[in-house]
Structure 1
Amino acid sequence: MSQTINDVSYPVILLVGKTGAGKSTLGNMLLKQPHDDGHFQVSADMESVTQECSTAIISIDGITYNIIDTPGIFDTQLVTDKILEEIAKTIKKCKYGIKAILFVFEAKRFSAEQRGVLEGIRNFFGEGATNYIIAIFSHATKAQIYDRDIMRKAWNKPVCSFIEDIENRWGISPNSDYFPPDDPTHQARLGEIKAFISSMRGVYTTEQLEESLQEQEEARRQKEEEEERKKQEHEEKLKEIARKEAEEAHKRKVEQIERERKAKQEYEENLKRKQQQEAEEKHRQMVEKMKQEERERKIQEENLRKKQQQEEEERYRRKLEQMRQEKEREEELRRQREREWELKRQREKEEELRRQRAREEELKKQREREENLRREREKQEQQRLQEMYRRQREEAERERVRMMEELQREQERQRRLQEERRREEERRHHHHDGCFSLDTKVQLSSGKFIEMAKLQVGDCICSNVKNGEKEFSEVYLISHLGHFDHSLSMTKIEFTRSDGQKGQIRTTPSHCIFHEDLSILYAKDVVPGVTKILVLNETNELVPVVVDNLITEGDTGYISFYTRAGTVIANNVLCSCYDDCPQSQTLMDLVFAPIRLWTKVFPSNHRQKDLHPYVKILEIAYHDWRNASKISNYPIVILFIIIIILFFTFF
C-alpha cells in the first residue's frame, strides 16, 4: 500500500545512500515485494531512477512505519544541494519523527566518495542523527551474506571506525539471486535489520533537523565571511605587490643611473691610467737605455781589468818558474848531501854490527858458563828438596797417625756422651714425665674437694695457709695430663697427722715438696723418721709432720699443673708445683713469670698428654746444660735459668 509524500502519518524509516547503492531494492525487500519490481522503482544502470522521495507503509513487530526512499546523493542529474533540500522538505513533513536512517552502501569497498557521502549526511542531519543511523551493506558476496563474521573481517579501518561511531548497528542487504525470499538466510538478514529498527529509542525530529540546518547556514555564512576576508586580504596583498613593484622599478632606475655614473667614472679612470702607463713606458725606455749604456761601460771596464789581470798572472807565472828552478837546484844539492851522509852512516852501521857480534859472542860464552853453574845449583837444590820432602812426608805420616788416634778418642768420647744423653733422656722419659698422681685431691675455692684429674684451667684451688686463712690460687696452665703406655715410677710419702689420722701423697721422685723450714726438696730425698713436711691440720694451720715411710710404686696416670702462687696443698700436704728443677721456689717462680703473664692475656687450653712447649723447652735446656757442663753447682745453673727467663721475657 503506497501513499503520497504528503501523507506521512507514522514514524519514518529513511533510506539514504549513493546512487546505485541498492536503497530501493532494500526497501522493496523490507516490504516483502520483488526486489526489482516492487513499490520502489529500481534502476538497471548508474542513473538514479528515484528523482523525488517516495513513501510506503510497513509494519515491523506490530508497529506501523512510513518507509521513505530518497534520491541518490551525488546523483549525476541533480545537484547535491537540491537533493538535500528535497530530503529536508520530506523530513519536515514527518511530524512523528524519523525512527531510523538506513545508510546503504556497497560492501565491495568503502571509497573516498562513500566517506564523503557519510560526512555529508552527518553534516546535514547533525551529530544527533548518529544515534539513529543503521549501516546496511549491499552488493555483498554470497559468503558475506551467509556469515556476518566474513563480512566483518572484510572491513577496513574507516569502516570499523564508522561502525563503532554508530554503536555497532549494521546489517546486510540480502541478494535474492543468492538467497530467495523464502530462504532462511534471506529472512535472517532482513530480520536483523528490522530488529535494529525496533530497538531504536526515540525518533529524530524536525526540530533537530532545523537546528542542524541553522548550524549549516551559520557555517555557510562564516565560510562566506571567511572567503570575503581572504578576498580582501588577497586584494591588499595585490596592492602591496604593486607598491613593491613600483618601488622596485624606481630602485632599478636609480641603480641604472648609478651604473651609468660609475661607467663614466671608470672610463675616465681608464683613460687616466692609460696616459700614466704611456708616461711610465717612456720613462722605462729611458731608464733601460741608461742601463744599457751602463752595461756597455762595465763591459769595457771588465775587459780592461781582465787584460791587466792576465798580464799580472803572466808576470807571476814567470816568477814561479824561476823559483821552481831554484828549488830544483837546491833539491839536487840536498840529495847529494844525503847520499854522502847515507854512505857514511852505512859504514858506521857495519862497524857497529861487527862490534855487536863480538859482544854477542862474549855474552854467549858467559851465558854458557852461567848455565852450567845453574844446572849444578839446581841439581844440588833438587837433592836438598827431595831430602826435605822425605822428612816432611815422614812427619805428615806421624801427624796422620796422631790425628787418627785423637779422632778415635774423640769418637769414643762422643759415643760415651751420646750414650749418657740417651740414658738421661730415657731417665727423663721414664721418671720425670709427671708430677702428681691423678687421684690426688685438692680443695676448690667453693670448699669442694676434687681429684686432680678433674682440674681445669681457671679453677681456684687451695695453695697455702696464712694466719689461719686458706689462700686460693688460679690454675693457669696444665702442662701435661694423661696415661703412659708404660708404668711410671711414683714416690709415695706416708705420714701421721697430729690427730692420729694417716695420710699419704704420691708424686714423681723429682717433684718438689716443702720442708718444715719452707725450703724445697725432691720427694726421693725424703728420709723417713727424719724429714718433716708441712701438713694442714683441722685448725687450718700448716704444722711439721715427720714422714713415716717412703714407698716407690708404679702408676700410669699423671698430671702436672701450675698455680699462680706456684704452690698447692695436695692431700693436705704443702707442695711446690715444680718438678725436676733447681731446688729454689723463688727461682722457679721467676722462671715461669713469662708464661704467667702470657696466660693473663691469652689463656691456655693445653690439656694433652705431651708436655707444654714452654715447659718442655725449659726442661730440655736445663738437662742439656747440666750434661754439657758436667757440673752440678747451682750458681751456674741459676745463671742459665736467668738467661732463659730474660730471653722469653723480651722476645
Structure 2
Amino acid sequence: MRFYISNSVSSYSKVESSPYAPVVINVENGEVVHQRILLIYGRAGPQDIDFESKITVEHHVINFPSTTWQVFNSHFKCLVHLDAGLNNIKFILDTSPFSSDSRSLTTIFQVNYVPLLQNPPLNLAILVAKDSKEIIDAPEEKENSGENKLESVKAKLRCAGYLWQAFTAEQMSRNGFGRRVFRLDEEWTEDTISNQNPGLRQTAKIHIIRSSYTLKQILDPDIAQQNPNRVDGKKKDLFSIFMDSLKEYGAPFDKQCYVAGLILDSHYDTSPNMGFVRGHAALGGGWDNIRLGIFGSHLTHAWPRYLEEVVSCFQDNTITDKNRLSNDAGESGTWWRCCNIGIGAFLHEVGHCLTAPHSPSGIMSRGFNNLNRTFTVKEPNNPFPTTPSEEEGAHWYRSDVVRFRYHPCFRLPFEPPAKIDLKNVGADFWILNKFLLIKCSAGISLIEIYIRNNIIGYLDYSDDEYNQTEIRLKIDKIIKKYGGKYNIIKMNFVAKNQTETFLENLQKFSEESKIILPIYGKVFKSNHLGKLDESLTEFKILFKKFIDIKPITLKRIIIKYDVVINSITFYWSDNTNLRIGIDNSEGIKKEFLFEEGEKIVKIKVNSGWYIDGFEIKTNLGRCSKWFGGHGGSKHTLEAPDNEYEMIGLYGTGNYFVNTLGIIYKKISSKPSSLQINKPAILLVGKTGAGKSTLGNLLLKTSEDETPTFHVSDSFSSVTKKSGSAIYKIGDKDYNIVDTPGIFDTDDLTEEILEEIARTIQECAHGIKAILFVFEARRFTDEQKNTLNGIKTFLGEDSLQYMISVFSHCNKKQTKDPEYFKNSCWNEPVEAFINSVGDRWAISPNAEDFPPDNLVHKQRLKELKKHITNIDGVFTNDLFEKARKMQEETARKAKEDEEKLQREYEEELISKGETIAKERYEKQKKENEKRILEEKKKEITSIKSEFHGKIESLTNEIISLKNRCFWLETQVRLESGKIIQMSELQIGDRVLSNIRNGIVEFSEVYLIAHIGKLDHDAKFAKVNFTRPDGSKGQLLLTTTHYVFDENLTTIFAKNLRPGETKILISDDNNKLVPVFVDDVTNEWHDEYISFYTRAGSVIANGVLCSCYDHCPPSQTLMDLVFLPVRWWTRIIPSTHREERLHPYVQFLETSYLSFINALKKSKRFIENKI
C-alpha cells in the first residue's frame, strides 16, 4: 500500500547515469516508511577493485543540511533525514579514488514518510537527581569541551533514539513486516540531530525528570546493579526510583506509556573496594500503566550527538581510560565498543519495555556488541566491508520481531486498533489425549519454547491472512524436537494483544492432567488460573457425585469477594458442602442457585496471582453477575470443544481462592450398549484367562455358534468394550458383565481400567459378585500384578464381593477340587483365597466336560452358591472410597520418596567424601562382577571392546596425573581484570567460554594442587598466531586437553602444526579457529591444576578443558567428579597446596585399581583365544 502526501519537489536535471552511480538496495524507490531517519544500504563505484570514497546525501528541501558517508569497496551505508510526505533524495558519489566517464554519478531516490501519529510513542527521558551536578563520566578531552554536560547528553539520547528507530524499522522490513516501527515522542524545538544547522524542527522530545531522590540515594552502592555485594530487597532499587520519579512528573506518564530512561548521575567509582558503576541498572519491564527500560550514563561519553558523528563514534579505536571510565563487562576497552554497548544494551532494555524476553541471539542476547555493523561499512581491525549479511548479533531475533508486529506501538495506518473487549484476554490450554490444545480469542501470534528458562525455539503464527485463535500440537513431537527425555519444556503462548500465558512444564502437565475418577473413569484437568502454591492441598469439586449409586447434584454456590474471590462454598442435593478459601465477615456475599438439570458449562475468569473475579454460564443459557474484581488477565474455563464436557472444578485456596481450573471428560460418541438394569456379576481378569468363556458357560451359549461373549485363541483380547446379558440364579435376575482383559497386549492398562470404571458407573443396582478369573496352570508375576492391580483399583472392600475362579484346569483337577487345592496352590494363591473369604471355584473345560456332564454342572453349581451367599452388593461409593485410598497411597509414596531423597542428601552432607568413596567402591565391585560375566559372551567382540576401554581409561589416568597449567598462564576474571593463574582463588569467576558472541564466566570450585614440583615436568609450548597477526603461546602439560575447531578435545602433545586448528578468543567476543604454528617441549617445575564448574577455561586466549565436562573423552571423569562439585557448593574447598587434593587422589587410586582389573580380564581373554 502506498501513502502520498503532497510536498513541493525541486526538479533535478535528468542526466544519463553512470554504472558507478549509487544504487539503493534495501529500500524500494517510492516506498512508504514511518521514521524520520532512514537507514540506507547500497553499492556505488566499481565493484571489482578495493577503494575508499564517500557519498554525499542531499535533501530536496533545504531545511536539513547535506551529510557525507563512507564508501568502502563499493559498499555504503547512510542515515537519511526525511520530512513528512514525499522526499526526493540525491546520492552523489565522489569520483576521487577512481576515474569515470562523463556520465552522472548521482542517483535521485524517492521515499514517502508517513508518521505513525495514531500510535503511542516511545518517550525518551533522563532521570536527574535532586542535587545533581548535571554531568556524566567522560574522558578529560570531552570534559574540557563540555560534552559531559546535560545539554550534550540530551543530544546524545535523541540521536540514540533515532538510531534505535532506524535499526528496528530495517529489521522489521527484513522479516517481511514492512517498515513498521515505534515512533518517538516529538515536539517543535531546536533540533540537535545535525551539527550544521541546529534550526527549529519536529524532533524527539527529551523529558528531564528531576527526581525527589538525592545523589546519595541514587548512587548508593547497595543498589548498584554491578555491586557483587548488594543485597536486593532491602532498599528501593533504581528501577523503582525511576518509576516513582515518572509518576511524580505527571503527564504523559500518568497513562499507558512506554519510556526509555537514562540515569544521568551514574558514576564509575574507582575507589578501593568499589570498582563498579554506581547509579546504574540495566533493566526493563514495568507495572501499572508504565513500561520502562533504564540504563546508566557511564558509557554515554562515547555516543554520537549528531548524524555527522555516527560513523566516527562507531569507529573510534581510542583506548578506554580505566582510571576514570568504566570498561563495562570487560567488553568496552575502546570507545567504539563503549558506543556499541551503551546504545545497544540500552536498546536491549527498551526491548524488555516492549515485551521482548532474552533470546538465543540478537539484541536480546548480547548481539548489541555488533551494533556498529548496522550503521557502518567499515569496522576497526576488520579489512573487509561490513555488509548486511556480516552484521551478526546486530539483529532482532525472529520471535522479538513477531511480538513487535502486533504491538500497539507498531500499528500501521490501515490496521484497525485492537478491540477493547479483547484487551487482556489470555490464552487457555487443555490436554486432548496426545494433543495440546491452545485457544485465545484475541489470536495467537507466537509460541516460545524454553529449556531452563532459555528460549531454544518458537512457533510462528504471524500469518495476517488467518487469525489463529486455536492451535493443536502433538505433544510427543514437541518433546522430541525441543526437549528430549530429560529436558523440561516450558512454553509461552503469546497473543496478538500482548498477553502471555505460561505452561511451566509440558511433560508434567500432560501426565498430571490425565486422572482416573471413580464412576467417571479417565478425565482431564485444564490449566489452572492463578499462581500455584504447591504447599496448598488441591481440592476437586464434581458437579455430580454418586453415593450408593444415587447421583448427588450441585444445587447452589455462595461466593464471598471484594477485589478478589475470598471463598466459594459448594452445596449438593444431599446437604453436604465444601468451602474453598476463607469465610471472613468482610466483603460481599452472593448466592447462585441451580435449577433441576442445570450445570456450569463456562466460567469467565480474571486472574493474576489469585482468582480476581468470575462469571458463570450454565447449560440453560443463564449467566450469573460478575463476582469479584477485574484485575489480571481474562480467561475462559470451559470444555475444550463439543466432544468434551465439564464435570467439575479443581484448584487451591487458603485466605483466597488461589487457583482454579476445570475437570472435563470426553463425551461418549455412542450411547452405551450396556443394558445393566439388575445387580451385576462382573467378570474380570487377565487377557486370555477365560473370562468370556466362563460367561458363555454360565449363560449356556455355544462358543462355536452364537456366543454371548466372543472368545479368541490369541493373546490379544477380543473384549475391547464391556458386554452384558441377563442371567438367572433361582428366581433372581442378574446382569452378567464381561470386561476387557487387564494387561491387554493391544491397549494400555489405563484404557482398560477406564472402561471398567465406566462399566461400574452403569451398574446402577450394584455389583453382586466380582468373578476374578485366572489360569490354574501357573501363578506368574504378571498374574500377581494383575491381582494386586485389581485389588488396588477396586479397593480392599471389593474382596468381600470377590470370587476366585480357576480356568484351564486339567481333568483330574476339575474332577477333584481338593486335589487341585492341595497339589497346585502355592502361598500367594492361598493367601489371596483367604483374603476373599475362601470363595473359589473351577471353570470347567467344555471339551472335557460338556454342559450335560455331572462334573460340569457341579462346578458351576458351586460357583452359583458362592454368588448367592454374598451379602449385599458392591456399590459405587465403595469404589469411590477405593479410588481415594489409591490416591492417598500414591501421595504417601511420593512423600516417602521425597523423605528418602532428603535423608540421602543429609547423609551426603554429614559424611561427604566418605560416602562418595564407599559408593564408588561398591560400583567398582559391581563393574568387576559385570566384566567377569561378560567374559562368557562372544570372545572376539569382547576383546575389541576391552582394548578400547583399557586404552581410554589409561589415557584418563595419565591425564589425571598430568593435568597442569604453567603458573604464569593468564586468565580473565569477570571484573575484566587479567591475572596469572598463580593468583587464582576459590570462588573466582574466570572466562570459560564464548558462545554466539556471549562471554561466559565460571566459578573455580577446586584447586587440585598448586606450587612447585620436586622435579621438572614436561610441558607443551603451543605457539599460534592471533587473527590480528600478533603471536600467542600457551604452556601446559603434554596430556592436557585443548579444544579444537570442532569443540572436541585433543591432547596438547597431539596438536599438529599447520593441521590442527585451536579456538582463540578475539576482541569481538568470538572464538576464532587458528592453525597451530608449532608445538615444542619445555621443562618446568611450577604448576597449577584447577576445575571450573563449566569444565573449561580460556587460558592465554585458548579454549582449554579443565577435566570436568569434556565429552566424549571425559564422560567417566564427569561422573566421578559430580560428588565434589556438589559438595563444594555446600562447603567451599579451602585446599591450596602442593599435594594433590584427597578426593582427586582417591579417584586416581580407584581408577588404577579398575584399570588393573581390566588388564587382568584382557589377559584372561587373550589366553582363552
Task: Provide the TM-score with structure 1 as the length reference.
Answer: 0.37
**Bigger proportion of residues as helix:** 1
Higher relative contact order (CA 8 A, sep 6+): 1
Task: Provide the TM-score with structure 2 as the length reference.
Answer: 0.21
Bigger-Rg structure (1/2): 1
